[in-house]
Amino acid sequence: MKDYQESLTLLKSISGLGNKTILILLVFTDSFQRFESVKEL
């Protein structure tokens, strides 16, 4: 849950991203833990 909280805080700092978009990003990317590098996104 801590990983989600940190990612949530960072994503909320990006203007234009709403709560629903942030939630979808976190769920589908497993809080961005599925990727070993930025290139994999």
Question: How many residues appear in the chain?
Answer: 41
pLDDT over 90, % of the chain: 37
Average pLDDT over residues 26-34: 83
- Identify the domain containing residue 15 by its residue range: 2-40
Instruction: Please tell me the pTM assigned to this model.
Output: 0.70
Q: How confident is the model at residue 3 (pLDDT cuts 50, 70, 90)?
A: low
Closest CA to 19 of 11, 10, 31: 11
d(CA 31, CA 15): 19
Domain count, the chain: 1
